[in-house]
Structure 1
Amino acid sequence: MKRIDIGIGDLNISKDSDTVLKTYALGSCVAIVIYEPIHRIAGMVHVALPDSGINKAKSESKPGYFVDTGVPLLLDMMSKSGALKNKLIIKLIGGASVLDDKGTFDIGKRNYLAAKKILWKYGLGAIAEDVGGSISRTVAITTDDGELTISNARKTWRI
């Protein structure tokens, strides 16, 4: 099976069968994972911050780093590959409070809420979420069936 790794601020799609899109160690970051089952197209973006307004240069060089630039780009990539908007299955993973026990910055929650807001702007919503808490998550989705697996050091589960 071919694996495409998605790093922090990266995004990618695949419609090649027998491919896995995978991202590692989601703490406060959020993975927005999209699957279109008719054409078997999987997409993922690993966002680190909610708003690109804090660093325009970075948003231009690495749009996947921010929710407000990464999600629209991912949706555009999916559409250009033939994905049907009314068939998109969207899942959100991450947004934990890691290394911020007192919730001072609350980046995880802010990323999660920004993702929900931008999806809503496009008339979309997530059908499943595994967000919050204080654990880091690794996420993988397969292109052939859209199976999404989440894991950490202790266990593996699906949503």
Structure 2
Amino acid sequence: MNDRPPDRRRPRLTVIRDRIRRLADQARPAPPAGSSFAVLRERGLLPSQPPEASTGSAQEVRNERIVVGVNALATARGAGVLITYGLGSCIAVILLDPNSRVGAMCHYMLPDSTQDPRRSASQPLMFGDMAIAQLAEVFTRRGGDPRNAEAYVVGGASLSGMGDLFDIGGRNARMARVTLERLRYHVRGHEVGDRTSRTASLDLNTGAIVVATPGLAPRRLR
């Protein structure tokens, strides 16, 4: 009879994967939803409308800054600035119709919702495939024309530590490209990869899309 106690050590990859899941659970829940997420909206998991530029004086609207958090999206038309911070391995996708001056931006954390059906049911905007599909929906609902639309992708850095092990940044960037192609949006500009955090902004007043990195001069994608 073998009296040796079982080896209770967990494989290193399993421990790291669990740490990633715990980090993901701390992310802010997704806000807006459209018709494809009607069930989630009815259950109160998603609000009925995405955040957008508020009404007010012309100067107030022009200067309004809408911050897009992690696992979130927002849209605006004609004025205001959409901005998102802290893009490490995460991705920001920006859609712009320069004719109608409609813009939309999402910030997602992980690439593929099919890898975690439980979490994607409650936080669909955490995942690139679902976030970009929802982004396209609110963009057109706000008045953007996909035939005129320009798409931009920012983020997908390869950060040291756990992200490198699973290539989250690279997979996020690939998911953005594949999903936008499937939805027939043309990617006009991108800044992805490397090992740095980024801030991305879209100014609807001018159409400028700017990427900023600590210690470097801002870059214009548009």
Q: What RMSD, in angstroms, separates the aligned Cα atoms of the two structures?
A: 1.6
Does the aligned pair in 2 maintain the 1:108–1:132 contact within 8 Å?
yes
Query: Which of 136, 144, 153 is equivalent to 1:75?
Result: 136
Higher helix share: 2
Identity %: 30
Give the TM-score, by structure 2 length.
Answer: 0.67
- Which residue pairs with 2:124 in the alignment? 63
Give the TM-score, by structure 1 length.
Answer: 0.93
CA distance in 2: counterparts of 1:77 and 1:150, whole angstroms? 23
CA distance in 2: counterparts of 1:150 and 1:46, whole angstroms? 14
2:174 counterpart of 1:113: yes
CA distance in 1: counterparts of 2:94 and 2:118, whole angstroms? 25
Mark the structure with the bigger radius of gyration: 2
Residue type of the alignment partner of 2:131: G
Q: Which runs of 5+ in 2 are unaligned?
A: 1-62
Residue type of the alignment partner of 1:54: Q
C-alpha deviation, 1:103, in angstroms: 3.4
Change beyond 3 A, Cα 1:52–1:82: same
C-alpha deviation, 1:45, in angstroms: 0.5
Following TM superposition, where does structure 1 have runs of at least 4 consecutive aligned residues deviating by more than 3 angstroms? 100-103
Q: Which region of structure 1 is more displaced relative to structure 2, 92-101 or 38-47?
A: 92-101
Higher strand share: 1
Query: Which of 2, 5, 12 is equivalent to 2:74?
Result: 12
CA distance in 1: counterparts of 2:160 and 2:143, whole angstroms? 40
- Which residue pairs with 2:164 in the alignment? 103
Q: 2:164 aligns to what SS in structure 1?
A: coil
CA deviations on 1:83-124 (whole Å, 9 max, x unpaired) are: 111111111000000124893211000000011111111122
C-alpha deviation, 1:58, in angstroms: 3.1
Task: Give matches, 1:83-98, under 5 Å.
Answer: 83-98=144-159
Aligned pairs, number: 158
- Which residue pairs with 1:126 in the alignment? 187
Residue type of the alignment partner of 2:165: T
C-alpha deviation, 1:64, in angstroms: 1.8
C-alpha deviation, 1:32, in angstroms: 0.4
Change beyond 3 A, Cα 1:72–1:144: same
Does the aligned pair in 2 maintain the 1:37–1:145 contact within 8 Å?
no
2:188 counterpart of 1:137: no
Q: Which runs of 5+ in 1 are unaligned?
A: none
CA distance in 1: counterparts of 2:213 and 2:75, whole angstroms? 23
